[in-house]
Structure 1
Amino acid sequence: MEPCTTPVLLDRNAPAMPNPERRRLLTSLAACGLGALTSRSALAAGTTPDQALSIVQPPRPAPDFTLPDLDGKPHRLSDYRGKVVLVNFWATWCPPCRAEMPSIERLYLSLKNKPFAALALDQGESLNQVFAYMGQLSPSPTFPVLLDSKSAAAHAFGVMGIPTSYLIDPRGNIVRQAVGGRDFDTAAMRRVIELLMA
Structure 2
Amino acid sequence: MIPQFRCPQLSIVLLATVLSFLTLAPGRSDDAPPAGKKTFQDVIVARQKDLLRDAVQYVEQHPDAADLDEAFAWSFETARRFGLEADALPMSERCLKSRTTSAANKSAAKQVLCVGLAKSGKLKDAVTAFQDSLQFARFGAVGEPLDLAVELVAQAGLAGEHGTAKEIYRTLSNRFGLNPQVGEFCENRLRKLDLVGVEAPELRLTDLKGDPASIADAKGKVLLIDFWATNCPPCLAEFPKLKQLYADKHEEGFEVLGISLDDSPDTVDAFQAQAKLPWRMVCEAEQVRQAREKYKVRTIPSLFLVGRDGRIAQVDMKGNDLRRAVERCLAEK
Q: TM-score, with normalisation over the residues of structure 1?
A: 0.66
**Gap regions ≥5 residues in structure 1:** 5-33
- Of structures 1 and 2, the one scoring higher in RCO (CA 8 A, sep 6+) is 1
How many pairs are equivalent?
161
Q: Deviation string for 1:166-194 (max 9, x for gaps)?
A: 11112211121017xx3258652443333
Check whether the contact 2:314–2:325 (CA below 8 A) recurs between aligned residues: no
Q: Specify the code of the residue in structure 1 equivalent to 2:327.
A: R
Check whether the contact 1:91–1:125 (CA below 8 A) recurs between aligned residues: no
- CA change 1:136–1:187 in 2 (3 A) is closer
- State whether structure 2 residue 158 is matched by structure 1 residue 50: yes
Partner SS, residue 113 of structure 1: helix
| Equivalent of residue 191 in structure 1, options 327, 330, 333 | 327
Structure 2 CA distance for aligned equivalents of residues 114 and 89 of structure 1 = 23
Check whether the contact 1:89–1:164 (CA below 8 A) recurs between aligned residues: yes
Partner SS, residue 198 of structure 2: strand
| Equivalent of residue 143 in structure 2, options 36, 61, 85 | 36
Structure 2 CA distance for aligned equivalents of residues 146 and 91 of structure 1 = 11
Q: TM-score, with normalisation over the residues of structure 2?
A: 0.42
- State whether structure 2 residue 254 is matched by structure 1 residue 116: yes
Q: Specify the code of the residue in structure 2 equivalent to 1:71.
A: K
- State whether structure 2 residue 255 is matched by structure 1 residue 149: no
Q: Deviation string for 1:12-59 (max 9, x for gaps)?
A: xxxxxxxxxxxxxxxxxxxxxx963688xx95xx96981699685761
Which residue of structure 2 lines up, in the alignment, with residue 71 of structure 1?
A: 209
1:90 deviation in Å?
Answer: 0.5
Q: Specify the code of the residue in structure 1 equivalent to 2:253.
A: P
Q: Deviation string for 1:54-88 (max 9, x for gaps)?
A: 68576111111122222111111112111111111
Check whether the contact 1:3–1:96 (CA below 8 A) recurs between aligned residues: no
Q: Deviation string for 1:121-168 (max 9, x for gaps)?
A: 11242211211222332xx11111222523210111111210010111
Structure 1 CA distance for aligned equivalents of residues 247 and 240 of structure 2 = 11
Check whether the contact 2:157–2:314 (CA below 8 A) recurs between aligned residues: no
Structure 1 CA distance for aligned equivalents of residues 232 and 240 of structure 2 = 14
Q: Specify the code of the residue in structure 2 equivalent to 1:143.
A: W
> In the TM superposition, what are the counterparts of 1:115-134 in structure 2 within 5 Å?
115-134=253-272
> In the TM superposition, what are the counterparts of 1:77-88 in structure 2 within 5 Å?
77-88=215-226
**How high is the sequence identity, in percent, across the aligned residues?**
24
Q: Specify the code of the residue in structure 1 equivalent to 2:158.
A: D
| Equivalent of residue 230 in structure 2, options 79, 88, 92 | 92
Q: Specify the code of the residue in structure 1 equivalent to 2:292.
A: A
- CA change 1:142–1:162 in 2 (3 A) is same
**Gap regions ≥5 residues in structure 2:** 1-8, 13-140, 166-192
Structure 2 CA distance for aligned equivalents of residues 86 and 124 of structure 1 = 19
Partner SS, residue 133 of structure 1: helix
Greater shift in the superposed pair: 142-151 or 53-62: 53-62
C-alpha RMSD of the superposition: 3.5
| Equivalent of residue 172 in structure 1, options 310, 313, 329 | 310
Instruction: Determine which structure has the larger helix proportion and give its number.
Output: 2
Which residue of structure 2 lines up, in the alignment, with residue 21 of structure 1?
A: none
Instruction: Determine which structure has the larger strand proportion and give its number.
Output: 1
Structure 1 CA distance for aligned equivalents of residues 298 and 309 of structure 2 = 25
